[in-house]
Amino acid sequence: MMKNSDNINHSNGNEEQDNLGSNEIEKTKICLMRTFVEAQDPSSKEVDDLTLRRFLRARDLDVEKASAMFLKYLKWRRSFVPNGSISPSELKNEIQQNKMFLQGSDKKGRPVGVLLAGRHFQHKGGVDEFKRFIVYIFDKIFARMPPGQEKFLVIGDLEGWGYTNCDIRAYLAALSLVQDYFPERLGKLFIVHAPYIFMAAWKIVYPFIDIKTRNKIVFVENKKLKSTLLEEIEESQLPETYGGQLPLIPIQDT
């Protein structure tokens, strides 16, 4: 049984109704989708309307395509996370690299994560452990979201990144998870301190990024780093390393 995060978002009816707004077309399609997916997989009854809406929006409100995507997600989650959550004991190599941090929120209330990509190296745990780490990160982020918030912001810091850090299989695996199983969750990705050599890897990954995700990715010039981040994040919520006031908090300590 799934326990938290993107798996299930429990909220009271009034709050959820407010969040869904007054879009009658979306409401109608959510009802149609719910009827279909509950008939296919009874566990769908535990999933709230906001979750269904994310899958609908990811498929441009096509009920059939969104339902197929959502049912695939449920099947994947049961298989990939059979205990409902990922334990740090399954992520020893990833956590040892101490590369993902979570602290503060942006001006929209979205949790702010920081990824220090220069600390990522391939290890004996392989891509499977890396994928478990991504799911672990998402579950941690979703657990910190205030009611009604569905998205998060990430600062991907490439300072010190070199060819020894390059891991195309891991990048594509993370991209697949974001786009296939956690749609409409990424609010914005700031890529900072990107070295020129990173663009070779970027050119390989870029064709696999869908249009909606591409529109959320921003490369930030070093000279405009703080000013750009401050457009989205108050100084009191910005990590110290970028001129703000918050210390970086390792994801496993949140």
Q: What residues are paired with 101 via a beta bridge?
A: 114, 250
Pairing of strands 186-192, 152-157: parallel
**Res. 46: pLDDT tops 90:** yes
pLDDT bracket for residue 237 (50, 70, 90): very high
- Give the separation between CA 189 and CA 113, rounded to whole angstroms: 9
Q: Which range among 1-5, 9-13, 66-70, 208-212 has the greatest average pLDDT?
A: 66-70
Q: Rounded to 5 degrees, what are φ and ψ at 42?
A: -55, -25
Identity at 63, one-letter amino acid code: V
- Give the separation between CA 229 and CA 213, rounded to whole angstroms: 19
- Give the separation between CA 159 and CA 144, rounded to whole angstroms: 27
**Res. 4: pLDDT tops 90:** no
Identity at 57, one-letter amino acid code: R
pTM of the predicted protein model:
0.88
pLDDT in tens, 18-29: 444 448 899 999
Alpha helices in the chain (DSSP H): 13-20, 24-40, 49-58, 63-80, 92-96, 126-144, 168-180, 198-205, 211-214, 225-232
Q: In this structure, what token pair is assigned to residue 209?
A: 């990024």
Q: In this structure, what token pair is assigned to residue 79?
A: 């298989």
- Give the separation between CA 238 and CA 226, rounded to whole angstroms: 9
